[in-house]
Structure 1
Amino acid sequence: MRRLWTSFRTRLIVGAALWIIAGLTVSGFLLSELFKAHVTQQFDDELHGHAAELAVLVGVAPDGKLFLHRRLSDPRFLPKESGFYWRVEAPGGQAIASPSLAGRTLPLTGPPPDTGVERHVFVAGPSGRLRLVERSVAAAHGPPLRLGIGVDQRLLDEVLGRFNWTLFLSLAIVASGLIVAAMLQVWFGLRPLTRMRHALSAVRMGQASRLPEDLPSEVRPLAKDLNALLEGNLEMLRRARTQAGNLAHALKTPLAILTDEAERLAAAGQREAADVIELQCERMRRQIDYQIARARAAALKRSPGLAADIRTTLEPVMAAMSRLHGRRDVAFSVGYDAEARVAVDAQDLGEILGNVLDNAGKWARTRVDVSVRRHGDSAEIIVDDDGPGLPPESYEHVFGLGERLDEHIAGHGLGLSIVRDLVGLYGGHVALDAAPLGGLRLILTLPAIDA
């Protein structure tokens, strides 16, 4: 849930939805109350009109009986228990009532209202709670008559209920439409950020070197600043590479002179002194190669856009190793369980694979098998050989700088040490195990990048 609220899109949509629902809820309540007041007033006005009509139509016969000159104009007072009722009472107990009462009584309780005054009350009627209007009407001969005319509250509630249900459905449809419109607005408004995220992903995977700047004015300054940062970082890396190359050249030139001097000493018969110089020169050369490779990888790992395709990098290395060790009839094969790109500089990946495959080719009797597979957020490159293998207690020993288990095998004992350091700098790791072929298995695990 907490992760969900870190999304701008979720915040904007939920905020808009809450405001829409709250606004329409308040609007619906106000509309319902206004309609209720309007309908109630309409019912009261209608009762007032019927009461005025009834007051005109009622009369008293010479024998004291009450009668109507004609029926009320509203036919709803005729059906039984229609919800519309009237009753007229004389002080002497004489009364007449609407046919809708069907012999039942309409309670007119309490003292009669003053002449010319209407009283609005609620009473229990024949079919439920009744909204009643009472008034006193002067008779031609005798005391005033008391009349009451009422309507069931149920009828008013039914009108209000139908209106409220229609209002609820209408507001729900409006709310749904507004929320969908808000979602579309948020989606459209955040499209530049989505485009920027895809552009950054392309830079991270090495598919682009800069971000597009044809963005809205609110986002364009950010894209420009990021492009300036990328360009500055690339320039710094270019200078670092140049300086590393210059340093290597500056150091290796004196070493070459010392090596040449050692050969001259050996030719002059000073073999022991020449061997000492050659040994120290070789150690210095290994240290220079190791430290420069390590420094270069350390600088590159902080650079955005690092990406290398394993197949593209591995194929030429496999071809070179096949030619190099083909004279010993060592065959190299590769299988891809999945295509993978890794967050490693292509040149460094080539150096890592070259050292690993060269080491496997030197120890293999007839074959070296390579397999590539994807495992979650990592890519694994597995190299198996059919050589003599290693006892588990020697696994860590071979990663030491300058360590060699067999002096008869050509090399300087530098390859696997550089491999482990380079892989570690890029956030990966190297593991050794027994190979199914009988020799040694080396597993390179590197951070993968989604294509």
Structure 2
Amino acid sequence: MRIRSLTARVLILATLWSALALVTIAVAISALYRQGVERGFNNLLRAQLYNVVNSVSIGDSDSLTGSPALGDLRFSQPATGWYWLVEPLGNYATAPLASASLGVANLAVPDVEATPFDQNYERYYEMTDDVANHIRVAETEVVLDDQGRAARFRVSGNLQVVEDEIAFFTSRLYAALAVVGIGGLIVNGLAILYGLKPLDRARRALERIRRGEAERIEGDFPSEVQPLANEINALIDSNRRIVERARMQVGNLAHSLKTPIAVLLNEARTLEKNQAEVIATQAEAMQAQVSSYLNRARIAAQRDSVLARTEAQPVMERLARVMRKLNADILFELDVAPDLTFAMEQQDVEEVVGNLLENASRFARTKVVTKAVMTARDDEPTDGRRGWIEVVVEDDGPGLAPDQIGEALKRGRRLDESKPGTGLGLSIVKEISGEYQGSFGLSRAGIGGLRAQLILPAVTKDTA
């Protein structure tokens, strides 16, 4: 599974590396400590061995004599695994000497070929005594007098002492490394969170831009993040210039076409009635078509701009207020949910909602009802994270039959020739909503007339 969080990635990698490093360190230190303890144990046995050698000699009765004082009570306690033993070699026959801890027991002698003596004529080997103690034995052979009589000297120690010492050290070592590892992870986590804080500040700055609270990313960022902030600011500036250039071109084109169309309309008045009506109608249609396509070009230029936003409440209240003045005999009801913001330019919101209100006012008998609320879409066309606003305009007029609805949405079609207009209003609403990836539909209203439903993009806190 791909990990999307940078913090999680770094923490996981740091944890794995720390665990591997600490385990390696623990194994290495344990091995080195074991070698040191075993070397010290061997040195202790060697020192005790030569203490015994220096304490034993051949007495007047040609027997082995001596009382080694090793300073360790374990040599005087039975079955401890700590023993010393002196045995005559060759034709020299006498009783061996042994520590009280060995008693009447004996220690087996390994074959010299299997365990040879070193250059100091010493050898070390391990074995198990009669009471199951795992012991290590240090051995040497020494000539005791000028007659060549020799003896084998052996001193043993219980290896459990070594294992206990190593276990004690290892447990403390693992505990210390665990504390270091956990502390290191906590410090790494805090360092990562602190190090990524500038990215969080950059994210909040982008949120402010999307909500319309700022126009640029402001703030002092580290050298690794500042280039990203600069590039985003450059992108926003470029986007703004594109929108402004598109608006300027739209205005220039509209201005350049305004005069020729006005001339055509004026000239139409000097012609005969039938000809004048045809020319005026076509000029008005041409004027509406030019306006429509210029709007589409402008919308395409700024549709994805993060700066396009319009608060719903004031715009829709202003439109309703204008319609009330123009249609004093019709009741205009308006219900707009609080804190709604369109992700659209204000003039586009006014265009689509104004067209619907104007169309409803032509056919309403007594009332037009307008509502705006947040909604969700099943046919989400983008990434599923965008918010949507549903705008519904209903009138209590005659409405449209199902087969008439499709005709009403065609450009230039007027189902009622007795009403003024060019027949472009609903088609313009459909085109603008489509340019913003929204939707538009007509159906029967609950109050008897036509119901127009708009789905338009919204700015939300979750998507800002």
Which TM-score band applies after superposition, normalised by the shorter structure?
0.7 to 0.9
2:138 to 133, 157, 175: 133
Q: Give the deviation of 1:45 after TM superposition.
A: 1.0
Distance (Å, rounded) in 2 between the aligned partners of 1:168 and 1:193: 37
Alignment-derived partner of residue 308 in structure 1? 310
Per the alignment, residue 49 of structure 1 pairs with 47
Give the AA of the match of 2:217. Answer: L
1:370 corresponds to which residue? 371
- Which residue among 258, 262, 266 is the counterpart of 1:256? 262
Matched, 1:224 2:224: no
Work out whether 1:199 is the aligned partner of 2:205: yes
- CA deviation map 1:270-315 (0-9, x unaligned): 3212211221122112112211211111111143322233334333
CA separation of 1:241 and 1:61: change in aligned 2, threshold 3 A: same
Deviations 1:143-187 (A, max 9, x none): 323232222333322322232232222222222322333333333
- Unaligned runs of 5+ residues in structure 1 are none
Q: 1:241 is paired with a residue of what secondary structure? A: helix
Q: TM-score, normalised by structure 2?
A: 0.83
**CA distance in structure 1 between the partners assigned to 2:334 and 2:453 by the alignment:** 16
Note if contact 2:342-2:389 (Cα within 8 Å) is conserved in structure 1.
Answer: no
| AA aligned opposite 2:346 | A
**253, 264, 287: which is aligned to 2:289?**
287
CA deviation string 1:60-113 (max 9, x = no partner): 666677665254301233444434333333344734444444655433333596
Given the superposition, is the C-alpha separation of residues 446 and 62 from structure 1 closer, same or farther in structure 2, using an over 3 Å criterion? farther
**1:425 and 2:435 equivalent?**
yes
Secondary structure of the structure 2 residue equivalent to 1:396:
helix
Asked whether the equivalents of residues 402 and 412 of structure 1 are also in contact (C-alpha less than 8 Å), the reply is yes
**1-side partners of 2:234 and 2:117: how far apart?**
90
Aligned partner of 2:128: which letter? Answer: A
Alignment of 1:335-374 (within 5 A): 335-336=336-337, 339-365=339-365, 366-374=367-375
TM-aligned CA deviation for residue 370 of structure 1:
0.6
Which of the numbers 165, 168, 187 marks the counterpart of 2:171?
A: 165
How many corresponding residue pairs?
A: 443
- The aligned residue for residue 24 of structure 2 is 26
Structure 1: distance between partners of 2:8 and 2:175: 26
Say if 1:230 and 1:405 are closer, same or farther in 2 by CA, change over 3 A: same
Contact kept? 2:340, 2:374, Cα under 8 Å = yes
Give 1:19-418 correspondences, 5 Å limit: 19-58=17-56, 68-69=66-67, 71-91=69-89, 92=93, 94-101=95-102, 104-110=105-111, 117-125=121-129, 126-139=131-144, 143-212=149-218, 214-265=220-271, 270-325=272-327, 327-336=328-337, 339-365=339-365, 366-375=367-376, 377-387=386-396, 388-418=398-428
2:422 maps to a residue whose letter is H
- Contact 2:63 2:94 (C-alpha < 8 Å) held by counterparts: no
| Structure 1 position 132, deviation (Å) | 1.6
What is the Cα deviation at residue 39 of structure 1? 0.9
Give the whole-Å Cα distance in 2 for the aligned partners of 1:230 and 1:114. 83
1:283 and 1:258 mapped to 2: Cα distance? 12
What residue is the counterpart of 2:456 in the other structure? Answer: 446
Secondary structure, aligned partner of 1:208: coil
CA contact (8 A) 2:85 2:97 kept: yes
Taking a change above 3 Å as real, the CA distance of residues 86 and 429 of structure 1, as seen in their structure-2 partners, is: farther
Is the contact between residue 395 and residue 445 of structure 2 (CA under 8 Å) also seen in structure 1? yes
Distance change (3 Å), C-alpha of 1:53 and 1:287: same
Superposed CA RMSD in Å reads 3.2
CA spacing shift, 1:253–1:70, aligned 2, 3 Å: same
Quote the Cα distance in structure 1 between the aligned partners of 2:237 and 2:297: 21
CA contact (8 A) 1:363 1:385 kept: no
TM-score of the aligned structures, taking structure 1 as reference length: 0.85
Structure-2 separation of matches of 1:93 and 1:398:
131
- State the identity as a percent: 33
Task: For 1:443 and 1:150, locate their aligned partners in 2 and report how far apart those are by CA, in whole Å.
Answer: 99
The answer to whether the Cα contact below 8 Å between 1:384 and 1:437 also exists between their aligned partners in 2 is: no
Q: CA deviation at 1:119?
A: 0.8
Are the aligned partners of 1:32 and 1:164 in contact in 2 as well (CA < 8 Å)?
Answer: yes
Give, in whole Å, the separation in 2 of the partners of 1:100 and 1:432. 108
More helix by share: 1
Q: Counterpart amino acid of 1:282?
A: E
Residue 402 and residue 22 in structure 1: after superposition, are their counterparts in 2 closer, same or farther (change >3 A)? same
**1:208 to partner: Cα distance:** 1.8
Which residue matches 2:380?
none
Q: Contact (CA 8 Å) 1:88, 1:96: kept in 2 or not?
A: yes
